[in-house]
Chains A and B, each alone.
Chain A
Amino acid sequence: MLHETLLYLFVIGIFSLVKTQEKHAFLFCTVLTFFVGLVFTFFVMDWRIIADSPQVFSIGSTVGENIKLDIISSKQNYMLIVPFFVTTLLALINNLIFKYETHKKKMLSLFVFNLIAFMMLICGNNFIQFMTFVFVIDILSQLLISDINAAKRYSMYNLVADMGIFLVLSMLQGKLANLDVGNISHYYETGRHRDFIMFVLMLSLFVKWGFIFFQGYWLDLKSAKFHALYFLTYLSTPMAALILFIKFYPIVVVSPSFEPLLDWAVGLSMAWGGLGAFFAPQIKEKFVYFHMLCVAFLVKLIEQANFIWTESFSNILICLFIFNLCFYYLHYEIDRGHGKNKKSLFLVFLAFLFVVIALSLQVFSLFIPEHALWILAFEGVFLFDVSQMFVAYGGKLRAPNEEKNLCTRTAVVMLGSMGLLAYMSSFKVAMHGWMVCFALLFFVLCLMLPKKINDEARAFYGKIQYVDLFAFLYDKCVLGIIRKAGFLAHIFIDFIFLERTLWPAVSAMNGSFVKVYRHMSRLGGAYYLFCTIAGFLIVMYLMMR
């Protein structure tokens, strides 16, 4: 069952921390990767025989509150774990075969512990467990970011998001007096503030997903290695947020503002992600914008599917991860290899093509006529961006026409096949043929976009990027106000009131008392006798009362 799988993975993780000689590192990693693969086969076998009723394995509990770690082996949890297990395995294999990765063992450890954290997050049932493993995933992710400023911003954003989740969960716990996630649907029987809870939780999740207005820290990651980037996008905080979204949907869907908020956030993120992926000059920036587009769409898809995780979602996630890997190899072939190895380049393009087709097939399989607009928008923007990227890379290649044509041809084939696919699949139920024709025409026009317009757009995008609106607003509206308020409070309260008024007054009063006392004490013994008797009488009087 799951606790055994976790135990095996934990042992592998511990072994991965063992120090080895540099020359043995590769062999060591190969063996451990093989064992992870073996654990995966056991996991799949368990999945096939798991009973319908969930099996719970609990670790410890405190005396007062019901804090415990649960490992619930249920079909739904296995289903949810599969994409993360598969992607981790793919990442491990890639880590093994990619020759430029110098820290193979460190990456292996991180991947394995991250998978454990994901599994614990998925199979948990307890608020504390959710918070714990979301934080663990954040920290493991942060270890991959070598640039100190990017790491700082990443951890700050995620810390604030985590504290938002902390706030919501502590509100729920306060009212329910129970840490079990199964009880959250009963919150509104006694609790209030449904809009506030929804707003805070969704805002925290938006930060973690890197939606519009919060994409700044993701863009900082353009200085990170590609290895780190693909890990961070599909095996890290955004996916942890997705799991929380699925677990905590009962408390957000009851708010009437939930649907519009999510629609606006997803819509704007998809639009901004699509635009960014088109305009961004650097491949890693394009990568981040693609991530923004895809994650926003995935969130919307899950919401449309009533928060039930199906096999299609797993497939979409795996496709997106392979899409990232293709991105990685494209970058590697063109930027490092300068496209000289035509065979490799062709293979990458082919892989790209297959994964885009597979992804689109999965997306279409989830088609519901009522939500055709979202799927159409995603597919349109996604394919347009991918094809434009191919065209752009074709232009970038120095070995001219043949490769350029290869790029353009791949883009055209991709678009053509997608159009056909769209028409042949569920789209035909909801859409008229003219819409498909219009979409195809639009794509073709985009392909033929005059160079001048393309350049102008890129320059405009560059200008936008230099104006970091979010950072500007944060600096002026948050930091500035806090600094000024703090300064004024310090001046008026601490300095003028306390330091210059209250304490000097007390001091002066004290001084005058001392003066009076000294003056009186000069009177000698009579004074002491008087004071003692007076004090004694006062105490006696008060005690008698």
Chain B
Amino acid sequence: MSVNLLLLFVIFLPFLGSFFVLLSKDGADQTFQNAFEASIFTVLVNILITLSLFSFMPLTPALDEIRYSIRFLPFMKFSFGADMLTLLFTLGCQMAVLAGILGIKGEKQNQRHVLFYTLLYLSFLNGYFFALDIMSFFIFFMLQLFPLYMLIGKCLPENKHMVSVRLFVHYFFGAMLLLAGCVFILSLKQDDILLFNIDKMHLSYRKSIMVWGGIFFALILRVPVWPFHHTLSSVCAVLKNPLVFIALLIMPLTGIYGFMRCWPLNIPFEISVLSPVFQALCVVTMLFAAFGEYANLGGGHKLLNYVFIYDLLYLLAVFLPIDTIGENIAYSVFSFLLISACLVAIEGCVLRQSAAANISVRGVLCKMPRAALCYALFVLAAAELPVSAFFGNNFVIVSKIFNYHLYMGIAVVLCMTLGSVSLFRRMYVLKDESSIYQIKEQIEDLDMMSFMVMMIFMAVLFLSLVNPLWFAVLKGI
């Protein structure tokens, strides 16, 4: 099969699958088994196709190793391409969504619409990651907002809808800024401006400010840097659905991916004056997130702040004037997505079981051996356990930050330490044996399929210790 066709498959398969999910019939007891199985199948096939794309990657990736252009209208040409960076982000998101889908398996309410919008969201995410030209990049950047808004709207309580509107406006404003930047770029050249060529264009001072400022603020609005963190955290604070939570957690990574794709190594002079302020803001936000994670007791808050810490770490890394750590960031993001998604899914399962039994979460994992094993392994991986790809690549990233600025490096390690300690504390709360005597109800453990999938994810992380994803890169599927 042609590689170009595979590329299009990865983008449009979830889109097609979403309609199968929408049209699937509910079970007699209002379950969503058919929709669930259709979405699992779609995401699994998507993962397999993405893995097969790895085999086309040479060992020294350039930016457009696989490139495919498609012309929809005479004036509209979309270019898609893939390199190692793209594939890692795509694969990470797909696997995270798979974990999220498994996380809602035990839900009593019908989740058909949630699954439909999730697959739609995944399709647009894939399109965004594979986009090579500025036009398709913007279109998919914008398109993600619609299913995300619907997803949040479906899962928020009635009285909290304003927060989702605020989040949508927040992201929409960012998209408009990107549009402004794109308009300026397109005014110079009419057709097919590739993302990695933007910095090669000769722009006047004012246009340069408009272009780079537009791109910068559009992407930064997706990352939870103070004061833009508030809208995202206010939505996550009230969300109960693990799948939607995961979908939201992917959003900051799209901003980071955007920076990795189109941000030049040497920051444009017009923006560079703001660089130290911006880095200081990142570090301060990180510290607040770390303290917040440490001080908060709820699992959702802890995970959210944990995710913020790593989002900001990647953002700081992207802004370093080094071009050699892109791959490390991508591998780390891939592992991070797997780890955080599995933690969210298990946390969701634990909360659901404790709510069903009307008990506190303390000690619940003692009654759920499979969930306990998965949770412990993923917490260890999240806490920089070195037997995973996460550690090795983060080590390289942090070492580069240290080389750039000592105090920034110290602050980053401090935040990572606090983040890890907080997750450990949460794990010990969930595994507190002294509270077992209170639990008399039957607690349902993580189902076998979810357990196996999570163990496979763990094996992927473990096997990637020395050479990340070597099994996919060298052999393909």
A residues contacting B by CB (< 8 A) are 59-65, 67-69, 127-128, 131-132, 135-136, 139, 148, 151-152, 155-156, 159-160, 162-163, 166-167, 169-175, 193, 482-483, 485-487, 489-490, 494, 498-499, 502-503, 539, 542-543, 545
| Interface flags, B458-470, vs A, CB<8A=1, else 0 | 0000000111101
Chain B residues, CB < 8 A from A131: 386, 391, 395
CB of A152 within 8 A of CB of B210, answer no
Please report the C-alpha to C-alpha distance between residue A156 and residue B425 in the assembled complex, in whole angstroms: 8
For residue A490, give the distance in angstroms from its CB to the closest CB of chain B: 8
Could you say which of B12-20, B87-95, B415-423 contacts chain A? B415-423
CB of A62 within 8 A of CB of B466, answer yes
CB of A159 within 8 A of CB of B291, answer no
Nearest neighbor of B296 in chain A, beta-carbon distance = A486
Q: A63-B60, A173-B396, A174-B403 are in contact. Are A166 and B327 (CB under 8 A)?
A: no
Chain A residues, CB < 8 A from B468: 62
For this complex, 22 residue pairs linking A to B, each with C-beta atoms less than 8 Å apart, are A61-B466, A62-B467, A63-B59, A65-B392, A127-B395, A128-B386, A128-B395, A136-B387, A139-B380, A152-B428, A155-B424, A156-B421, A162-B384, A166-B384, A166-B398, A170-B409, A170-B413, A482-B294, A486-B295, A498-B230, A545-B204, A545-B206
CB of B327 within 8 A of CB of A486, answer no
Please report the C-alpha to C-alpha distance between residue A489 and residue B292 in the assembled complex, in whole angstroms: 10
Please report the C-alpha to C-alpha distance between residue A542 and residue B210 in the assembled complex, in whole angstroms: 9
Provide the main secondary structure of the chain A interface.
helix
For residue A137, give the distance in angstroms from its CB to the closest CB of chain B: 11
CB of B409 within 8 A of CB of A171, answer yes
CB of A135 within 8 A of CB of B184, answer no
Nearest neighbor of B293 in chain A, beta-carbon distance = A486
B residues contacting A by CB (< 8 A) are 59-60, 166, 183-184, 187, 204, 206-207, 210, 227, 230, 288, 291-292, 294-295, 324-325, 327-328, 380, 383-387, 391-392, 395-396, 398-404, 406, 409-410, 413, 416-417, 420-421, 424-425, 428, 431-434, 465-468, 470
Chain A residues, CB < 8 A from B417: 159-160, 163
For residue A201, give the distance in angstroms from its CB to the closest CB of chain B: 13
Q: Which of B166, B187, B327 contacts A543 (CB 8 A)?
A: B187
Chain A residues, CB < 8 A from B380: 139
Q: Which of B207, B230, B399 contacts A494 (CB 8 A)?
A: B230
For residue B2, give the distance in angstroms from its CB to the closest CB of chain A: 27
Please report the C-alpha to C-alpha distance between residue A171 and residue B413 in the assembled complex, in whole angstroms: 11
Chain A residues, CB < 8 A from B288: 486, 489
CB of A174 within 8 A of CB of B402, answer yes
Please report the C-alpha to C-alpha distance between residue A515 and residue B466 in the assembled complex, in whole angstroms: 61
Chain A residues, CB < 8 A from B183: 539, 543
Nearest neighbor of A151 in chain B, beta-carbon distance = B428
For residue B368, give the distance in angstroms from its CB to the closest CB of chain A: 16
Please report the C-alpha to C-alpha distance between residue A155 and residue B384 in the assembled complex, in whole angstroms: 13
CB of A60 within 8 A of CB of B470, answer yes
CB of B387 within 8 A of CB of A173, answer no
For residue B284, give the distance in angstroms from its CB to the closest CB of chain A: 10
Please report the C-alpha to C-alpha distance between residue A62 and residue B468 in the assembled complex, in whole angstroms: 7
Q: A64-B328, A171-B399 are in contact. Are A483 and B295 (CB under 8 A)?
A: yes
For residue B220, give the distance in angstroms from its CB to the closest CB of chain A: 17
Q: Which of A60, A159, A171, A543 contacts B467 (CB 8 A)?
A: A60
Chain B residues, CB < 8 A from A503: 166, 230
Please report the C-alpha to C-alpha distance between residue A545 and residue B466 in the assembled complex, in whole angstroms: 52
Q: A135-B386, A163-B417 are in contact. List 9 more A-B contacts (CB 8 A).
A: A59-B466, A135-B385, A167-B409, A482-B291, A482-B294, A486-B295, A542-B184, A542-B206, A543-B187
Please report the C-alpha to C-alpha distance between residue A134 and residue B129 in the assembled complex, in whole angstroms: 37
Chain A residues, CB < 8 A from B60: 63
CB of A148 within 8 A of CB of B432, answer yes
Chain A residues, CB < 8 A from B59: 63
Please report the C-alpha to C-alpha distance between residue A117 and residue B398 in the assembled complex, in whole angstroms: 25
Q: A170-B409, A173-B395 are in contact. Are A159 and B386 (CB under 8 A)?
A: no
For residue B330, give the distance in angstroms from its CB to the closest CB of chain A: 11
Please report the C-alpha to C-alpha distance between residue A61 and residue B207 in the assembled complex, in whole angstroms: 45
CB of B391 within 8 A of CB of A60, answer no
Q: Which of B187, B204, B291 contacts A485 (CB 8 A)?
A: B291
For residue A206, give the distance in angstroms from its CB to the closest CB of chain B: 17
Chain A residues, CB < 8 A from B432: 148
Query: Which has the most chain B C-beta neighbours within 10 Å: A62, A69, A156, A545?
Result: A62
Please report the C-alpha to C-alpha distance between residue A287 and residue B468 in the assembled complex, in whole angstroms: 44
Please report the C-alpha to C-alpha distance between residue A62 and residue B474 in the assembled complex, in whole angstroms: 12
Chain B residues, CB < 8 A from A61: 466-467
Q: Which of B292, B328, B385, B400 contacts A139 (CB 8 A)?
A: B385
Chain B residues, CB < 8 A from A65: 328, 392, 396
Q: A139-B385, A159-B383, A485-B291 are in contact. Are A170 and B398 (CB under 8 A)?
A: yes
For residue B17, give the distance in angstroms from its CB to the closest CB of chain A: 34
Nearest neighbor of A69 in chain B, beta-carbon distance = B466
For residue A220, give the distance in angstroms from its CB to the closest CB of chain B: 13
Chain A residues, CB < 8 A from B292: 486, 490
Q: Which of A62, A166, A171, A545 contacts B207 (CB 8 A)?
A: A545
For residue A194, give the distance in angstroms from its CB to the closest CB of chain B: 13
For residue A123, give the distance in angstroms from its CB to the closest CB of chain B: 16
Nearest neighbor of A65 in chain B, beta-carbon distance = B396
Chain B residues, CB < 8 A from A128: 386, 391-392, 395
CB of A152 within 8 A of CB of B433, answer no
Q: Which of A64, A163, A167 contacts B327 (CB 8 A)?
A: A64
Chain A residues, CB < 8 A from B206: 542, 545
Please report the C-alpha to C-alpha distance between residue A166 and residue B409 in the assembled complex, in whole angstroms: 11
CB of B409 within 8 A of CB of A174, answer yes
Q: Which of B391, B400, B406, B421 contacts A159 (CB 8 A)?
A: B421
Query: Which has the most chain B C-beta neighbours within 10 Å: A61, A163, A193, A485?
Result: A163
For residue B308, give the distance in angstroms from its CB to the closest CB of chain A: 13
For residue A300, give the distance in angstroms from its CB to the closest CB of chain B: 29
Chain A residues, CB < 8 A from B416: 163
CB of B428 within 8 A of CB of A64, answer no
Query: Which has the most chain A C-beta neighbours within 10 Å: B291, B387, B395?
Result: B395
Chain A residues, CB < 8 A from B420: 159, 163
Nearest neighbor of B84 in chain A, beta-carbon distance = A63
CB of A163 within 8 A of CB of B384, answer yes
For residue B323, give the distance in angstroms from its CB to the closest CB of chain A: 11
CB of B403 within 8 A of CB of A175, answer yes
